[in-house]
Chain A
Amino acid sequence: RKEVEQDPGPFNVPEGATVAFNCTYSNSASQSFFWYRQDCRKEPKLLMSVYSSGNEDGRFTAQLNRASQYISLLIRDSKLSDSATYLCVVNHNAGNMLTFGGGTRLMVKP
């Protein structure tokens, strides 16, 4: 089993749709969780951290399920500008190293 696993997609959705991505992780000792966004041929940028109680930032909601070892990202009212690859990132207990998932590609269509 991969340490951090994501459905590569692509997820093709119309503008205004709600879309959700899941990401599973293998290490139950993982401490920190993040979602990054990466545009084509650009560097990853931090979208949001994921907290145990769940957190929301505008149209984006992140949740953590420790029992089932997955995190999720929900995007409401999708915009064309949301088209990107979304990377799930997990920090294990040892040191500062992050493990990146392979990413889920989202394409929002008019």
Chain B
Amino acid sequence: DGGITQSPKYLFRKEGQNVTLSCEQNLNHDAMYWYRQDPGQGLRLIYYSQIVNDFQKGDIAEGYSVSREKKESFPLTVTSAQKNPTAFYLCASSMGQYQPQHFGDGTRLSIL
């Protein structure tokens, strides 16, 4: 089945620790995105990538980093600089401009 796979489903971070969230897609989509959603709030764009080896900051990139070495993969690292990382993280991909985005089932990150 084609789709987007995020892992892990739940993740706990200790103070001062970097953690990496995985996102893999087999839809052959060029564009991939990371969003953050806080309880009762809308989605906010963290980073996006329209092509391999290229990515741009979204609205709330501080404290996060990404890489796009393969078309299928767009991992997100939540660094220790992100002081309030507790949220629901969603990865998405799309075929191209003006096309809808398709989401993975998300990772819930909490602070220990």
Contact = CB atoms under 8 A, between A and B. Distances in A.
B100 A49 contact: yes
A45 interface: yes
Contacts of A34: 100
Chain B interface: which size bin? Answer: 20 to 34
B103 A96 contact: no
A52 interface: no
Contacts of B33: 97
Interface residues of A, number: 21
A42 interface: yes
A99 to B, nearest CB: 8
Given A96-B48, A102-B42, A45 B101 contact: no
A97 B45 contact: yes
Interface in A48-80: 49
Given A31-B98, A96-B31, A96-B96, A43 B48 contact: no
Interface of B: 31, 33, 35, 41-43, 45, 48, 50, 58, 88, 90, 94, 96-106
